Structure 1
Amino acid sequence: MKLRPEILASPVYRQGRPASDDAFKLSSNENPFAPLPAVLAAVTAELEINRYPDATAASLRGALAARLGTTADEVIIGSGSVALLQQFILAAAGPGDEVAYAWRSFEAYPTMVTVAGATSVQVPNRADGGHDLEALAAAITPRTRVAIVCSPNNPTGVTVTAEEFATFMDAVPSDLLVLLDEAYAEFVRDPEAVDGRTLVGRYPNLVILRTFSKAYGLAGLRVGWATGPEAILDAARATAIPLAVTGVAQAAAHASLQAEAELLERVEAIARRRGTLIAALREQGWNIPASESNFIWLALGEHTFDAAERFFDAGLVTRPFAGDGVRISIGEEESLAPLLAQAAEILSDLPAGHPARAA
């Protein structure tokens, strides 16, 4: 069978290990709270599954546009922000082109670039797990068609500041498509972090992407959105799989916007829990990046898989990234005690001078 060799060589995206009923699933950055009754009611009311959904998601686009102060044509809906990322990459890059992004970052980026036939240019993160935007800007060549900025960065949780992002946008060509991936933006509490909502309409080459999967708790329904210049969004619409966003997902997203105040109270609880966990881990002696997401990062290097197995044996399903570290989602309050107990044991076994140890 004649298949593309670069596709065959690409790693397949794999979810974290399944969790048993008595384990905590801390591997997929999901919202641990159950859906709100109003969201469940909206989903139930939309269960006319023998009919196709509105392919344009016009009502949801209109609701988001009203919040953003833009037009509905400057909003696009996709089956999660990852699907939209793929659409924009396909619209802009092909064989012979380059897509530049920080690394390590979202694990799907390399495969999406390969699927487009383009070449990845990976720019190493800073020592603190944040983007080196100066180096990313320097990596732009005449072949570069897309640059991706992930803030907060997945899996390290570190944000890009508004000042850093403005400097980056001033440094790159105005015809370079910049994708600001803000899948975890609702968890950010740092006032200096970039906020894509404040940049709407400012740059002719910027697209801002967000999702309902994380903060809004709709990971199982797959719905995300992006905003940017209409011409760029139209190009992405041309690369979309038709009817990918279900009517159920659109209804749930609408209901989530209407219940936003209650949902964001849950987000605040997760942010407080994150702060508690980071403080406790640092007190143990861990070197923890300043996460502004709903996960934390342990830069365990060659000890990554051993640590993930030890967490698993303790009833904690985490997400290991070979040779780099373990990402741990902020889950239920009850997960903190066993997590901290196992983390202390793992730390005690790390050699002196390991980067995961605080200096």
Structure 2
Amino acid sequence: MMSVLSGLIRPEIADLEAYTPIVPLEVLADRLGLPVAQIVKLDANENPYGPAPAALAALQATATYHIYPDPEQTALRKALADYTGRSAEEILCGAGADELIDLVLRLIISPGDAIIDCPPTFGMYRFDAGICGGRVISIPRRADFSLDLPAIARAAAQGAKAIFLTSPNNPTGNPLPRSELLQILELPLLVVVDEAYIEFAEPEHAPVGASDLLDRYPNLAILRTFSKWAGLAGLRVGYGLFPRWLSEQLWKIKQPYNVSVAAQAAAVASLAVADELRARVQAIVAERERLFQHLNTFPFLTPFPSVANFILCRVEGRDARELKLALERRGVLVRHYQTPLLNGYIRISVGTPAQTDALIAMLAEVTR
């Protein structure tokens, strides 16, 4: 019977490697035998300052949690139109930008269709393409993590339907140069620019990123999130800026109640105090520079310049995974990837000054 039932599974799903998420904080604290308050969590690029007080107040004041949310996210899209300077008709909201990645791929990818992936980068592009039965043409980045533009052009000429580019890139922290984006936009494919960390690259103003190119390039789509700059990772709310031809089709397949009442209320309240949140972003950017200087003092670490809220470090002369585990046993969490391109690296999220101090102290302790 089990063999018959297992035959019901699509073969591309049966062969798919599961995505490995971060272990929940409470689970890991219990495993380590440490109180949650003692954990220094620098492994998931979360905002250490949490939501704005206005967002927390909006959650407390909302009285409609027993009613389904607005399926069109009307108030949120209006507030986002003011924030981004784009029309509400171009904006689609999702349960984090992750849902929008999934929607775009489900819309355009049939089994056997290809996308271009430029590792090391965010793993959900490859993962969601696999769910759709798509092929992934991998164009690894150069040694300095810049894009291999000639190889991307060759892959586009082979019929790839889309390319996903994170700017700033995760986990390397480098921005996508405008000149390179313009070259890629001339290729015959959909260009999805994931700007999950754009506020940290443009900390003083509402982000522009690539949004000023939307009117010139109908093959451009932009993804953003409230998880990082607004501290709403646990509520799962993101949005995309899409050309009309694409957004009209995405609306057809979007789940109607995909963004919760709580997420909408907190996101609208966050946008109302964007200046306050940008001040927090500036504090994180300042701490990023302090952290970078500290990391440079360790001979076994080579940190890479970053315009995001994390720093990638090459580990030299010792095992990167063992370093991650040694820090973990002391209650300091950083990210290590079990992939060939990143096996010798760790990624460290930017926390508060106190968290930076704890990290540096533990790095010194594990090297004694």
Choose the corresponding residue for 2:234, options 200, 220, 238. Answer: 220
Query: Which residues of structure 2 form unaligned runs of 5+?
Result: 1-5, 30-35
Shift of 1:87: 0.5
Q: 2:179 — aligned with what?
A: 163
Q: Which amino acid aligns with 1:8?
A: A
Q: 1:76 — aligned with what?
A: 92
- Is the aligned partner of 1:288 residue 2:303? yes
- Is the aligned partner of 1:4 residue 2:4? no
Write the distance in 1 (CA, Å) between the matches of 2:71 and 2:247.
15
Write the distance in 1 (CA, Å) between the matches of 2:314 and 2:12.
29
Q: Secondary structure at the match of 1:326?
A: strand
Superposed, 1:107-186 pairs within 5 Å as 107-170=123-186, 172-173=187-188, 176-186=189-199
Q: 1:33 — aligned with what?
A: 49
Shift of 1:40: 0.9
Q: 2:3 — aligned with what?
A: none
Does the 8 Å CA contact 1:162/1:195 hold for their aligned counterparts?
no
Shift of 1:120: 0.9
Write the distance in 2 (CA, Å) between the matches of 1:305 and 1:8.
29
Does the 8 Å CA contact 1:129/1:289 hold for their aligned counterparts?
no
Q: Which amino acid aligns with 2:294?
A: A
Does the 8 Å CA contact 2:72/2:256 hold for their aligned counterparts?
no
Q: 2:32 — aligned with what?
A: none
| TM-score between both structures, scaled by the size of structure 1 | 0.89
Write the distance in 2 (CA, Å) between the matches of 1:84 and 1:102.
19
Write the distance in 2 (CA, Å) between the matches of 1:54 and 1:251.
11
Does the 8 Å CA contact 1:93/1:146 hold for their aligned counterparts?
no
Does the 8 Å CA contact 2:94/2:239 hold for their aligned counterparts?
yes
Q: Which moved more, 1:8-17 or 1:317-326?
A: 8-17
Does the 8 Å CA contact 2:311/2:350 hold for their aligned counterparts?
yes
Write the distance in 2 (CA, Å) between the matches of 1:181 and 1:104.
14
Q: Deviations over 1:226-250 (max 9, x none)?
A: 1121110122222322211012111
Choose the corresponding residue for 1:210, options 218, 224, 235. Answer: 224
In structure 2, do the counterparts of structure 1 residues 254 and 269 end up closer, same or farther at CA, with 3 Å as the change threshold?
same
Does the 8 Å CA contact 1:29/1:330 hold for their aligned counterparts?
yes
Choose the corresponding residue for 1:320, options 313, 336, 356. Answer: 336
Q: Deviations over 1:142-196 (max 9, x none)?
A: 43111111111111111111122112223x11xx1110000000011599x9812
| TM-score between both structures, scaled by the size of structure 2 | 0.87
- Is the aligned partner of 1:244 residue 2:272? no
In structure 2, do the counterparts of structure 1 residues 190 and 65 end up closer, same or farther at CA, with 3 Å as the change threshold?
closer
Choose the corresponding residue for 1:14, options 16, 20, 26. Answer: 20
Q: Deviations over 1:193-215 (max 9, x none)?
A: 98123223221110011001110
Shift of 1:103: 0.5
Does the 8 Å CA contact 2:47/2:230 hold for their aligned counterparts?
yes
- Is the aligned partner of 1:85 residue 2:101? yes
Choose the corresponding residue for 1:253, options 225, 247, 267. Answer: 267
Q: 1:187 — aligned with what?
A: 200
Write the distance in 2 (CA, Å) between the matches of 1:318 and 1:341.
14
Q: Which moved more, 1:28-37 or 1:79-88?
A: 28-37
Does the 8 Å CA contact 1:105/1:150 hold for their aligned counterparts?
yes
Q: 1:356 — aligned with what?
A: none
Q: 1:276 — aligned with what?
A: 290
Q: Which amino acid aligns with 1:250?
A: Q
Write the distance in 2 (CA, Å) between the matches of 1:67 and 1:35.
18
Write the distance in 1 (CA, Å) between the matches of 2:239 and 2:210.
12
Shift of 1:345: 6.5
Write the distance in 2 (CA, Å) between the matches of 1:198 and 1:280.
36
Does the 8 Å CA contact 2:115/2:162 hold for their aligned counterparts?
yes
Write the distance in 2 (CA, Å) between the matches of 1:243 and 1:198.
30
Shift of 1:340: 2.3
Write the distance in 2 (CA, Å) between the matches of 1:288 and 1:219.
26
Query: Which residues of structure 1 form unaligned runs of 5+?
Result: 350-359
Write the distance in 1 (CA, Å) between the matches of 2:124 and 2:197.
16
Does the 8 Å CA contact 1:79/1:223 hold for their aligned counterparts?
yes
* RMSD of equivalent CA atoms: 2.2
Write the distance in 1 (CA, Å) between the matches of 2:243 and 2:287.
37
Tell me the percent identity: 35
Q: 1:333 — aligned with what?
A: 353
Does the 8 Å CA contact 1:160/1:194 hold for their aligned counterparts?
no
Q: 2:71 — aligned with what?
A: 55
Write the distance in 1 (CA, Å) between the matches of 2:129 and 2:14.
14
